[in-house]
Amino acid sequence: MSLQVPTMAEKIAKGESPDILFWVGCAGSFDDRAKKITKALVKILNHCNVSFAVLGTEESCSGDPAKRAGNEFTFQMQAMMNIQVLNGYEVKKIVTACPHCFNTLKNEYPELGGNYEVIHHTQLIQELINQGKLSLQNSETFKGKKITFHDPCYLGRANDVYEAPRSLIEKLDAELVEMKRCKSKGLCCGAGGAQMFKEAEKGNKEINIERTEDALETSSQFIATGCPFCNTMMTDGIKNFEKEDSIKVLDVAELIANAADL
Amino acid sequence: MTIQIILFGLISIAGIGFFAYNIWKIRDNIRIGKDTKRNDKKTERIKTMILVAFGQKKMFSRPIAAFLHLCLYVAFVITQIELIEILADGLSGKHRLFSNSLGSFYVFTISFIEILSVAAFFATIIFLARRNLLKLPRLNMKEMMGWPTKDANLILIFELILLVCIFTMNGTDEVLFNRGISHASDVQGSFGFTISSILGPLFFDSMSNSSLLILERIGWWGHFLMVIGFLNYLPYSKHFHILLAFPNTYYSNLEKKGKFDNMQSVTNEVKLMLDPSADPYAVDPNATPPSRFGAKDVNDLTWKNLMDAYTCTECGRCTSSCPANVTGKILSPRKIMMDTRDRLVEYGDGKRKNGKDFEDGKSLLGDYITQEELWACTSCNACVDECPVNIDPLSIIIDLRRFLVMEESKVPNELTGMLTNIENNGAPWQFSQNDRLNWANEE
Ligand code: SF4
Ligand code: SF4
C-alpha cells in the first residue's frame, strides 16, 4: 500500500483540520537513512488512521543546529518563520521523530509565540497502542531478541523522556538490555550541539566509537534509537567494528512497524 | 584568665570580621553578573535545595564516596554545636558551661559529636588516600595540578588536626576529671563521653597533672583556632561549597535542561527584520541594547553563572561524564568553572582597585578558555545532570560560543557551510526546500 502523506495545505483546501501535525525535520526529509524512519512512522500513522498532515515544502529547519552552534540570529529567524506558518494553520499538536526538533519546538518556540503540544513519536506510538489502535500481539518478529536502547540526549536528559521508548521495546516481547551508561547517565552519541556538521576536535577517540562499545558490551542484536542523528552515529560505529551482520541499528518506529508487519 | 578572655574576644572579632569582609567581596563579585530571573516557584526551589544540598541527593549515584562525604558533612554540621559552648566558655572564662545545666543531654550531645568525629576521621583518611595513593583519575587531571590539589589536601589535613584537637581536649579533661581536678567539676568522676572516656585514659593516664592541664588548653585553643582558620580559609577554597551549595541549589535552573534561553535582544531585531513596520520600541520600551551578543568575559555572564563558579567543589563528576573529555578532547566542564572563578576573582579585585571602568586587556574567552574547548561540546547536558550542586557549565559554554559566532564570526569552517545552508534553503544541507516532500513519493 502506498503511503498517505497529506499536506496541511491540501487538508485545509478540503476544509479539514487534522488532529496532529507531523514535523518531519531536515534529517527525516533529506537523509536517506532517516527517510526510512519517517516512512516507518507514516506507515504506523496510516495503519492507525491517525488524522495527520505534514507541512511539506512549507517546513523549514527548526533552527536547532544554528542555536547550539551559537548563532541565535539564524535560529530565531527560522523559529519565527516556522511559527508564522504553524500559527497560520492553527496547529495545536505536533509529533516529531527528531528529539532536536522536539526540544526546540517544545521548549524554545513558546517564548517566540509558538505554543503547541509537542510529543516525540515514541510517545505517540505508545498512545496508539494504549488506545488499542495498534496491536503487537502475536508478533514473533523480535520475540526473545536482545535489544538495547540508546537514549538521545535531547529526549532523555534534556526532556526527561525515558520510559516511552522503553515501554515500546517491551511490547515487542524482546529482552531490553540496558547499557552500563543509560537513562540520565546515558553517553552522548557525539552528534549534538551541531557536532553532526563538523569534524570532532583533536582527541584520542571518536565519541560514537566509545558509545558503540557500550552497546556491543550488551551483546544485543539490535540497537534501538529515537533520533536520526544518533542512528547515523551508531550505524557508523557498528560499521567501524565490522559488526553489521550481528547487530542492527533501528529506530523504535522501525521496530514497531516491522513487528506489526506494516 | 582575663587575658585569655580578651585574647579570645579579639581573635573572634578579627576572625569573623575578616570572614565577613571576604563574603562581602564574593557577593560583590557575583553581582558583576547580568540579571537572570530565578525568583519564581519558591516552593519548588526550597524543595530542590533540601533534596540536593541538604540531602545530597545527587551524591548517591556514587554510594561509597557519598557515604564518606556524608560522614564528613554531618560531623561538620553537628560539631558546630560544640562551637556554641566554646564561644560561651571563651567569653565567660568558665569551663564547660553547659555540662551541669544540661546534664545527661550534654553527655548525649558530646558523645554524638565524638562518634561522628571518629567516622569523619576515617573518612578523611580514606579521602586523602584516594587522592594521593590511589590517584583517582578524576581528581588528578591537568586542571587539578598545583593549587587545586593542595587546596583539597590542606582542607583534609585541617580536618584531621581539628579532630585531634577535639579528642585531646575531651580526653585530657576526662583524665583530669578522673583525678578530681577538672575545671568542669570539683568532684571526682567521669564525663561519660562515649569515645573520650576510653581514649582519654588510654593515651593520657601516664601524664602529670600540670601537663594535662596544659594539653587540655592546647586542645581547646587548637579547636577554636582551627575553626576560625577554617572559616577564613573557606572563601579562598573550593570548600566554599559548604555554604554556597544552599543558595546555589535554591536558584537552580528549573526549566527542562534542553531549553536554552532565547536572547531577547535578538528577538527584537528579528521581529524588525521580519516586519519592517513594527515599532522598534514597542517590544520593551526599557530595553537597553546589549553591550555585546554572548559572553566574552565574566561580566557578560549571569550572576547565576558566577555563583556556580564559586560553588564548584572541583569534584570532576562533570568532567568524568563528559563525552568530549572521556574521548581525549581538551574540554573539561570542571575547568570551565574553575577558569570562570579565577577570572572573576581577578576581575573583581581589579575593579575594586581601579574603579568601575577597569580594563586589563584580558578576558575569560581567550586568556582562560580557548575556542578548541568550546567547539568540542556536544551540548549533551551530562555535566549539568551530574553536578551534585546543580552547576550548569553548558550555559557558559553556549554564551561564549555566541560571542565567537555573533561578534567575531569565528566559526569552524564546516559550520559556516551549515549555517549558510539553513539561511539559504532552510536545511543544514544543500537541499532545496522544494524537495522536502520528495521522500513521500520515493520507493
Ligand atoms: S554538555 Fe558539553 S561540556 Fe557538558 S558534558 Fe556534554 S559535551 Fe561535556
Ligand atoms: S561543576 Fe559540579 S560536578 Fe563539576 S567539578 Fe564543579 S561541583 Fe563537581
- Across chain B, what does the average pLDDT equal? 92
A48: domain CATH number is: 3.40.50.1860
User: Domain of A66?
Assistant: 8-127
Boundary of a domain, candidates A81, A99, A127: A127
In this predicted structure, what is the pLDDT of residue B78?
85
Boundary of a domain, candidates A127, A147, A181: A127
In this predicted structure, what is the pLDDT of residue A111?
96
Instruction: For residue A169, tell me if it sits in a domain.
Output: yes
Cβ of residue B322 lying under 6 Å from some atom of ligand 1: yes
Give the dihedral of Cα atoms B331, B332, B335, B339; nearest 10 deg: 30
Domain residue ranges in chain B: 62-250
In whole angstroms, give the CA distance from residue B338 to residue A176: 40
| Segment B111-124 mean pLDDT | 94
A229: domain CATH number is: 3.40.50
Chain A residue whose CA is closest to B255: A107
In this predicted structure, what is the pLDDT of residue A1?
64
Mutation target to probe the B interface, by most B beta carbons within 10 A, among A76, A103, A184 is A76
In whole angstroms, give the CA distance from residue B76 to residue B117: 8
In this predicted structure, what is the pLDDT of residue B273?
84
Residue A231 and residue A33 in contact, taking contact as beta carbons nearer than 8 Å: yes
Residues A108 and A140 in one domain: no
Residues A43 and A115 in one domain: yes
Q: How many CB atoms lie within 10 A of CB A146?
A: 15
From the list A70, A194, A203, which residue is nearest B418 (CB)?
Answer: A194
Instruction: For residue A144, tell me if it sits in a domain.
Output: yes
pLDDT band at A142 (very low <50, low <70, confident <90, very high): very high
pLDDT at residue B285 is higher than 70: no
Write out the three cell numbers for B369.
Answer: 578558555
Instruction: For residue A2, tell me if it sits in a domain.
Output: no
Residues A54 and A102 in one domain: yes
Residues A212 and A240 in one domain: yes
Flag the least confident range among A124-138, A151-165, B160-174, B269-283: B269-283
Determine the atom of ligand 2 nearest the C-alpha atom of B308: 1
In this predicted structure, what is the pLDDT of residue B287?
56
Protein residue closest via CA to atom 6 of ligand 2: B312
In this predicted structure, what is the pLDDT of residue B61?
86
Write out the three cell numbers for A160.
Answer: 526527561
pLDDT band at B279 (very low <50, low <70, confident <90, very high): low
Question: Ligand 1 centre and the CA of A189: distance in Å?
Answer: 12
In this predicted structure, what is the pLDDT of residue B356?
79
What angle do helix axes B147-178 and B63-92 make, rounded to 10 degrees?
50
CB contact, 8 Å: A141 with chain B?
A: no
pLDDT in tens, B148-190: 999 999 999 999 999 999 999 999 999 999 999 888 888 889 9
Question: Ligand 1 centre and the CA of B373: distance in Å?
Answer: 10
Contact residues for B42 (Cβ-Cβ < 8 A; gap 6+)? none
In this predicted structure, what is the pLDDT of residue A179?
98
CB contact under 8 A, B422 and A153: no
pLDDT at residue B93 is higher than 90: no
Boundary of a domain, candidates A127, A146, A179: A127
From the list A38, A65, A84, which residue is nearest B428 (CB)?
Answer: A65
Residues A119 and A212 in one domain: no
pLDDT band at B286 (very low <50, low <70, confident <90, very high): low
Residues A139 and A251 in one domain: yes
Q: How many CB atoms lie within 10 A of CB B43?
A: 7
- Portion of chain B with pLDDT greater than 90, in percent: 80
In this predicted structure, what is the pLDDT of residue B290?
60
Mutation target to probe the A interface, by most A beta carbons within 10 A, among B57, B260, B409 is B260
Residues A90 and A174 in one domain: no
pLDDT in tens, A161-208: 999 999 999 999 999 999 999 999 999 999 999 999 999 999 999 999
Residues A106 and A139 in one domain: no
pLDDT band at B435 (very low <50, low <70, confident <90, very high): very high
In this predicted structure, what is the pLDDT of residue B271?
87
Residues A20 and A113 in one domain: yes
pLDDT in tens, B33-54: 999 999 999 999 999 999 999 9
Chain B residue whose CA is closest to A200: B376
pLDDT band at B282 (very low <50, low <70, confident <90, very high): low
- The total number of structural domains that make up chain A: 2
pLDDT at residue A91 is higher than 80: yes
| Segment A83-103 mean pLDDT | 97
CB contact, 8 Å: B437 with chain A?
A: yes
pLDDT band at A240 (very low <50, low <70, confident <90, very high): very high
Residues A239 and A175 in one domain: yes
Residues A184 and A92 in one domain: no
In this predicted structure, what is the pLDDT of residue B355?
85
Residues A112 and A195 in one domain: no
